[in-house]
Structure 1
Amino acid sequence: MLAIKGGRVLTITKGVIEEGTVLIEDGKITKVGKSVKVPKGAEVVDASGKVVMPGLVEAHSHIGIWEEGIGWAGSDGNEMTAPATPEVKAIDGIKANADEMGLRAALEAGITTVNIMPGSANVIGGWGVVVKTAPKTTVEDMVLMHPSGMKCAFGENPMRVYGADKKQYPSTRMGEAAILRKWLQDTKTYMEKKERFKDEPEKLPDANLQLEALVPVLKGEIPLKVHSHRADDIAIAVRVAEEFGVRLTWEHATEGHRNAEWIAKKGIAAIWGPSLMSRPKWEMRELSFKTPKALYDAGVKFAIQTDSTGQDISFLPICAAMAVKHGLPRDVALKAITITPAEILGIADRVGSIEEGKDADIRILSGDPLDVLSNVEMVIIDGKVEYKA
């Protein structure tokens, strides 16, 4: 048993406990409170004068599949051989046992859970996966959720990769929408045939790994994770998704201030970012730290993300702090990097807050989590100390 004692405990969902105690056993949080008795024989972490909070949750990243500091040999994020590759899986590109610098940076920043997805070169990019950042021998030992969603992309990226660079389809937004429609319709037809002929094996369609990967989308088991910076691009994606009755989340939401009320009415969650960077293309020209406040004011459920390796993953709390500087309430900003991304991903029963029964993923800091001068001093994942400064 492990006891974290004496710290300022930010539970995120149940307030702040001054000089609180968190008990951990078998990888789970068993007790949280101010007057919790520490059992005899428990290992005690003295957190007096420190801040104790849940490990951060990064809802959109590419660490592990784009190995930092490697170059092309470690670049496994985009299968740029066809504009639709639903069959590829991020889990197959993650380097779990290679001391990958992005995963290491996440751990040392106290980012204990990350959603890793293929990149945005393709209209349909493949499955994402949620992992813990504790080092393991194989990626299977890191997995919290698989698949986490089907990566899609609208806007400049597929148009540039295929239209401008390769002189092939799609070269327009019309083409992007048509590709998604075609693959969803083909999957729907495939599912209907499998159901119709389930008792007549000789009439069943041949197994199709590409369409099988999209079946969970059509069944409503996983969402489309739609890369889109512009408000009009997400509107295209929503139009197609509604035609087939599938769910989606808005990844990046750079122009979220333009359509926040509409997104809120649609009940679509947004995962905003990256933000600590320049505006390298037209569709990011309105990048602003005021957008999270606009999303909040409209009632949109949103998380803050880094798009790492689009920017360093350790900047996640700084992005939240900058949103506070531009009007976002402090408690909302903290939720946007903990419990809210966990809720959007569907893993809030496991991570995102300090509550009894949840995974013991804990981040201990020297001070305010939104102060750039605060240091991460200890990171605990599943009840085990994985990092000490």
Structure 2
Amino acid sequence: MIFIQHAEIRTIANGTLQHASILLQDGKIKEIGSDLEPLAGAQVINGAGKVVTPGLIDVHTHLGIFEEAVGPAGVDVNELTNPATPHLRALDAINPHEQGFIDAVQAGVTTVQVMPGSGNVIGGEMVVLKTHGSVVDEMVLLSPSGLKIAFGENPKRVYGGKDKLPSTRMGIAAVLRENLVKAQNYRNKWEKAPADPEKLPERDLKMEILVKVLKREIPVRAHAHRADDIATALRIAEEFQFELTIEHCTEGHKIPQWISSKGVRVAVGPTMSNRSKIELGDKGWHTLTALADYDVPFSITTDHPVVPIETLITAAAYAVADGLDEELAWEAITLNAAKHLQVEDRVGSLEAGKDADVVIWNGDPLDFRTKVETTIIDGKVVYQR
């Protein structure tokens, strides 16, 4: 049981409280208010002069499957042997002891989505995790949290270099449609199958995950930088009626009204990276403000390790400096991010009943000089500066 008192508490969902307290009990947020008293036996933390926020959330990372300082042995992010690998599971390749998770908790990032890379048209399942633990199974918040697909230069480069389909944007769309149609046929076959177990169709792990997509049990998360790739992703989602989020959305500022009309959520970033390929030529913080103008719900991501996980708060600060409303910036790394991942009932804001994922800062978190003093996940201190 932890009691933080006399702090500035930014709840995200219900505004900011001054000189307030928060009680964490049994891994949950028990109470928040200005007139609370510590319970007997509680660990009391003096929050005077401190800022308390929810744990930060990065919706698009490769933590644990693209390890730092390891080299090829730690790169398990892309299975580049077939452009369609929906049956892969990021969960099976995550090393929870890699440095990136340590950096995350030290930077106040308490929840992440880990996904396969974008070398394949269909990359595989992703998972939402807390960022502290010894066994990845104990860190899982939601699994599977979506299916990764990719448009644009990455699949073109990988398979075009092998003289295989897809080597064009047409080919990428064709591979995706072909597999979705196979999944439709597979679903129909199972729905019409007799009850006799001996007469059931043979299971196909690739098709099973795609059937979950067609039944809208999990969303598809589409790597798409260019405006035309974003439009293709939206077109195919409407064609097959699956739930979609746009990941990266680098040129989203070129078609914000179109994106808004489709009612999808987007993850923007890693804007702090360099312009390493043609798809990133027009990247900038203006994407966020353009999406905001059309009420497109967005999150901010580092795409770790493309940009290190500890810069998530820095990206939000840069966005505010470039004109993004500060409240929207905070939501983009907390509550909107939780909604993007469909875990807002557990994390993303400081509210009674939610998970006790809390960060104590020694000043304004959007000031580059500010440090994380304490990170708490599920009511346990996992980092103390």
SS in 2 for 1:128: strand
Q: 1:340 aligns with which of 336, 342, 356?
A: 336
SS in 2 for 1:171: coil
Could you tell me which residue of structure 1 aligns to residue 189 of structure 2? 193
Q: Distance in 2 between matches of 1:146 and 1:292?
A: 28
| Percent identity over paired residues | 49
Once the two structures are superposed, what CA deviation does each residue of 1:212-232 show, in whole Å capped at 9, x if it has no partner?
Answer: 121211110111110010010
Q: Distance in 1 between matches of 2:133 and 2:246?
A: 30
Q: 1:132 aligns with which of 130, 133, 138?
A: 130
SS in 1 for 2:144: coil
Once the two structures are superposed, what CA deviation does each residue of 1:179-202 show, in whole Å capped at 9, x if it has no partner?
Answer: 110111111110111010142445
SS in 1 for 2:255: helix
Could you tell me which residue of structure 2 aligns to residue 278 of structure 1? 274
Once the two structures are superposed, what CA deviation does each residue of 1:26-59 show, in whole Å capped at 9, x if it has no partner?
Answer: 0000000111121122110111110000000000
Q: Distance in 1 between matches of 2:223 and 2:300?
A: 14
Q: Distance in 1 between matches of 2:182 and 2:3?
A: 54
Q: Distance in 2 between matches of 1:106 and 1:9?
A: 21
What is the correspondence of 1:233-382 to structure 2 with a 5 Å cutoff? Answer: 233-382=229-378
Could you tell me which residue of structure 1 aligns to residue 69 of structure 2? 69
Letter in 1 for 2:102: R
Could you tell me which residue of structure 1 aligns to residue 109 of structure 2? 111
Q: Distance in 2 between matches of 1:241 and 1:291?
A: 22
Q: 1:146 aligns with which of 143, 147, 150?
A: 143
Letter in 1 for 2:146: G
Q: 1:218 aligns with which of 208, 214, 220?
A: 214
Does structure 2 retain, via aligned residues, the 8 Å contact 1:122–1:158?
yes
Q: Could you list the runs of 5+ residues in structure 2 that have no partner in the other structure?
A: none
Does structure 2 retain, via aligned residues, the 8 Å contact 1:2–1:45?
yes
Q: Distance in 1 between matches of 2:71 and 2:81?
A: 19
Does structure 2 retain, via aligned residues, the 8 Å contact 1:112–1:132?
yes
Q: Report which stretch shifted further, 148-157 or 212-221.
A: 212-221
Q: Distance in 2 between matches of 1:215 and 1:186?
A: 9
The reply on whether 1:160 has 2:121 as its aligned counterpart is no
Q: Report which stretch shifted further, 39-48 or 224-233.
A: 39-48
What is the correspondence of 1:80-95 to structure 2 with a 5 Å cutoff? Answer: 80-95=80-95
Does structure 2 retain, via aligned residues, the 8 Å contact 1:22–1:31?
yes
What is the correspondence of 1:8-27 to structure 2 with a 5 Å cutoff? Answer: 8-27=8-27
Q: CA deviation at 1:258?
A: 0.4
Letter in 2 for 1:161: V
Q: Distance in 1 between matches of 2:136 and 2:273?
A: 30
What is the correspondence of 1:27-46 to structure 2 with a 5 Å cutoff? Answer: 27-46=27-46
Once the two structures are superposed, what CA deviation does each residue of 1:330-364 show, in whole Å capped at 9, x if it has no partner?
Answer: 01101100000101110000000000000000011
Q: Distance in 1 between matches of 2:352 and 2:333?
A: 20
Letter in 2 for 1:113: T
TM-score of the superposed pair, with normalisation by structure 2: 0.99
Does structure 2 retain, via aligned residues, the 8 Å contact 1:250–1:271?
yes
The reply on whether 1:122 has 2:113 as its aligned counterpart is no
Letter in 1 for 2:253: H
Could you tell me which residue of structure 2 aligns to residue 178 of structure 1? 174
Letter in 2 for 1:320: A
Q: Distance in 1 between matches of 2:133 and 2:364?
A: 27
Q: Distance in 2 between matches of 1:24 and 1:277?
A: 37
Q: Report which stretch shifted further, 33-42 or 187-196.
A: 33-42
SS in 2 for 1:371: coil
RMSD in angstroms over aligned alpha carbons?
0.9
Does structure 2 retain, via aligned residues, the 8 Å contact 1:261–1:299?
no
Does structure 2 retain, via aligned residues, the 8 Å contact 1:187–1:214?
yes
Q: Distance in 1 between matches of 2:200 and 2:228?
A: 40
Q: Distance in 1 between matches of 2:139 and 2:194?
A: 36
Q: Distance in 2 between matches of 1:63 and 1:327?
A: 30
Q: Distance in 2 between matches of 1:139 and 1:53?
A: 25
Letter in 2 for 1:146: S
Q: Distance in 2 between matches of 1:372 and 1:325?
A: 12
Does structure 2 retain, via aligned residues, the 8 Å contact 1:193–1:204?
no
Q: Report which stretch shifted further, 112-121 or 211-220.
A: 211-220
TM-score of the superposed pair, with normalisation by structure 1: 0.98
Q: CA deviation at 1:205?
A: 2.0
Q: Could you list the runs of 5+ residues in structure 1 that have no partner in the other structure?
A: none
